[in-house]
Amino acid sequence: MEQLKAILVDDELSSLQNLKQKLIEFCPDVKVIAEAQQPEEALLLIRHHKPDVIFLDIEMPRMSGFRMLDELGSYDFDIIFTTAYNHYAVEAIRISAFDYLTKPIAIKDLQNAVERLAKERTSSTREKLDILRQSLSESKSQEDKIAVPTGEGLEFIIIKNIIHIESSSNYSKLFLSDGKTMLVTKLLKDFEDMLAPYRFYRVHNSHLINLNYIKKYIRGEGGQVVLQTGETIDVARRKKDEFLKLIAG
C-alpha cells in the first residue's frame, strides 16, 4: 500500500518530535512530509504539499486548530486531532466522527487511528467539520447532526430523527423516525456520551432513548417506557429515580 503523506501541526516542539518518532517507528504506512509549530506556516505547507492527513493540535497560541482550518478553506485531506486530556472539544469531535489522540499519545492508540484511516479514507471532511462546529456551539439542537460509521463510509443523521438506540454486542442498532434501522460499529456507551446534551437517556444497559419520543411511562419495579412508535422498553430499577426526575423536569 502507498504510504499516507502526513503533516504534523503542534506548537509544542516536544509533542511534535514525540509524535514524529512514534509514526516513524510504529506506523510504516505513514510518511511524515512536513512539520509546523506555527499555524500560519502549517497553512503554507498544507497548500504546497497536499497531504493525505494532518495531525492537528487543537490549542495553539494566536490561532486554534479549528480557526486554522477555517483559514484554509478547502479540504482534500483527513484530520486526526491531538489534544490535552478532557479538552472541551472531545465530545464534539466524537459526534463528528473525527479521530483524536490525547497527549501523551499512546502507541496503540496511534496505530489504531492510522489503521482506521487506512481502511476508511473519506472525502467527507467538510461535512464532518460542519458537524464539529455545530457541536461546539453553545446551543444544542436536535436539528444538529451526528456522523455514524457504516459499511460504505459515513452517514450524517439528524439527531431528532433518532428514536432510540439498542446495544447489539460490539455494535449499536439505531431506530429512526422514518422506520429505518441502522447497525453501526459504535458501542452504546459512545452514543450515551455523545447524545446526553440532546435529551437522550440510557434507561437500561441495552437501551438509549430520545426523551422527546416518550408517549407514556408505566409504573413498576423499574417501570416501562412506551415510545410514540408503540414500542415498550424496560427501565432498569437503578435508573428509575433519575429517569423520573428527567422527564418530570
Amino acid 122: pLDDT: 64
Strands 200-204 and 224-227: unpaired
Concatenate the DSSP letters of all residues of 188-240 into one string. HHHHHHHHGGGTEEEEETTEEEEGGGEEEEE-SSS-EEEETTS-EEE--GGGH
C-alpha cell at 107: 502507541
Strand order in the sheet with 78-83: 30-36, 4-9, 53-57, 78-83, 99-102
51 close to 5: Cβ distance less than 8 angstroms: yes
Angle between helices 13-26 and 107-119 (to 10 degrees): 70
* pLDDT the model gives residue 17: 96
Predicted structure pTM score: 0.75
Give 76-112 as a DSSP string.
Answer: -SEEEEEE-TT-TTHHHHHHTT-EEEESSPPHHHHHH
Q: Grid coordinates representing 195?
A: 447524545
Kindly list the distances between the CA atom of residue 88 and the CA atoms of 63, 84, 93, 151, 197, in Å, as whole numbers in the listed order.
Answer: 17, 10, 10, 30, 13
pLDDT of residue 248: 83
φ/ψ of residue 55, rounded to 5: -95, 110
In sequence order, what are the residues at sequence separation of 6 or more whose Cβ sits closer than 8 angstroms to the Cβ of residue 121?
Answer: 52, 78
Question: Alpha-carbon distance 12 to 36, whole Å?
Answer: 10
CA–CA separation, 98 and 121 (whole Å): 12
Q: Residue-wise pLDDT tens for the chain (249 aa)?
A: 689 999 999 999 999 999 999 999 999 999 999 999 999 999 999 999 999 999 999 888 878 888 898 888 777 899 999 988 667 788 888 888 899 999 999 999 999 999 988 877 666 888 888 888 888 876 778 889 999 987 777 899 999 999 999 998 889 999 999 999 999 988 999 999 889 889 999 999 999 999 999 999 999 999 999 999 999 999 999 999 999 998 886
Residue 123: predicted pLDDT: 62
Which H or E element spans position 145? strand 145-150
Q: Check residue 143 and give its pLDDT.
A: 82
Domains present along the chain, CATH in parentheses: 4-134 (3.40.50.2300), 159-248 (2.40.50.1020)
Rounded to the nearest 10 degrees, the angle between the axes of helix 65-72 and helix 125-136 is: 130
Cell matching residue 248: 418530570
C-beta separation of 77 from 53 below 8 A: yes
